[in-house]
A = this chain, B = another copy of it.
């Protein structure tokens, strides 16, 4: 369990400060049942704190991503979605035709990650990927 104290420490260790906006935005992502979009976060936090600016939401999500507290992915619906790291790593298959998304375990990409490390000495960040294509129903 990550506490507010842990977050303060993690931020200050990198020279960042804990602000009410950051806390509320992180709460919104952590409390979301599913992948949550920037404007959903914005609207939700605005209910408690109407002065919040949308650019703060974008900047905070960038920071939380950098600190490894959230992951981001683009499921192809024209906006980026976020996900608390507490819910574990996974990936998605997205069908171009029907729009269905299939969840995949992190391990599916392990061989690729290993191959890139071995052959190219490249440390790939494959934490929350969406792969597009055609699902079995639409072939």
Contact = CB atoms under 8 A, between A and B. Distances in A.
A123 B134 contact: yes
Interface residues of A, number: 26
Chain multiplicity (copies): 2
Interface in A65-120: 93, 95-96, 102, 104, 108-109, 111-112, 115-116, 119-120
Interface stretch (A8-16, A23-31, A34-42, A125-133): A125-133
A124 B116 contact: no
A139 interface: yes
B112 A125 contact: no
Nearest to A113: B133
A31 B49 CA distance: 53
B134 A122 contact: yes
